[in-house]
Amino acid sequence: MDPIAIVSGFGVGAIVGMTGVGGGSLMTPLLLSVFKLNPAVAIGTDLWFAAVTKMAGSASHHRAGHVDWRITRLLLSGSLPAALATIALMHFTGLTKGWASALTFSLGIALLLTAVTVAFKQIWVKVGHWLERWINDGNRPALTVLCGFVLGVLVSLSSIGAGAIGATLILLLYPKMAAHRIVGTDIAHAVPLTLVAGIGYATLGHVNWGLLGALLVGSIPGIWLGAQLTRKMPERLVRTLLCLSLVAAGLKVIH
């Protein structure tokens, strides 16, 4: 196994363990810049990385009762059809140069959106309460499905969005939900979404399986260590560094 890949998986895993976000947002740019994968292969490989690493987290949150399965089903009813339609369009048209440009641009936008959601984490609760004057029990389910649809397209085009962006959308729609239930619901939604999108990329031949294995070997101890470090490192410092990295990566990808 490539030692650089193992170390990279360890580093990304540690950041995920410390912040709860940053896996896909950091992994895909890493695959593009360090391992020189083309955008489609980088996205396909990262989708599988996300699906596998979040399975254990989803099971843990389920056992703890932190998953709102009704909201998860609503999100999936929008995100899975969107992902399948996006992958089907890729199959039908073929991953031409035009698709490569679209994937790269989507990746850059997703990175910048993730940076915004992480940077202004404390503000979204207030925004969610403010939106309650328009969002009610009558239209909230339909809006949840719509958010799922948006996430399905975004994740399929960039491999990013099922983490920080997904959690922020849930928070905006359900501002009274406890933080641990938002995280658990977001992770439970992310697993089938990234798995379905990942399978789609695999059928197109756009997954580097050997590299994926090495990344996963490094990520497992990295996530554990990151979880331990959360008690010793200031969260604001970690999130600031993560945001700066996301902005830099997003601007680089777009340009």
Alpha helices in 94-208 (DSSP H): 97-119, 123-131, 140-158, 164-173, 179-203
- Long-range contacts of residues 34-37, Cβ cutoff 8 Å, at least 24 apart: 34/4, 34/8, 35/5, 35/208, 35/211, 37/208, 37/211
**Higher pLDDT pick, 181 / 242:** 181
Average pLDDT over every residue of 153-161: 88
For the cut 90, the answer to whether the pLDDT of residue 245 exceeds it is: no
**Higher pLDDT pick, 143 / 171:** 143
For the cut 70, the answer to whether the pLDDT of residue 242 exceeds it is: no
Query: How far is it, in rounded angstroms, from Cα 164 to Cα 112?
Result: 11
Q: What is the tens place of the pLDDT at every residue in 81-103? A: 999 999 999 888 876 566 777 78
Single-letter residue type at 180: H
Q: What is the tens place of the pLDDT at every residue in 29-41? A: 889 888 999 889 9
Contacts of 106 (CB under 8 A, 6+ apart): 154, 157, 158
Of 36-50, 115-129, 220-234, least confident by mean pLDDT is: 220-234
Q: Kindly report the pTM of this predicted structure.
A: 0.86
Q: What is the tens place of the pLDDT at every residue in 102-148? A: 787 887 888 888 788 877 777 888 898 899 889 988 999 999 999 99
- All structural domains of the chain with their residue ranges: 3-254
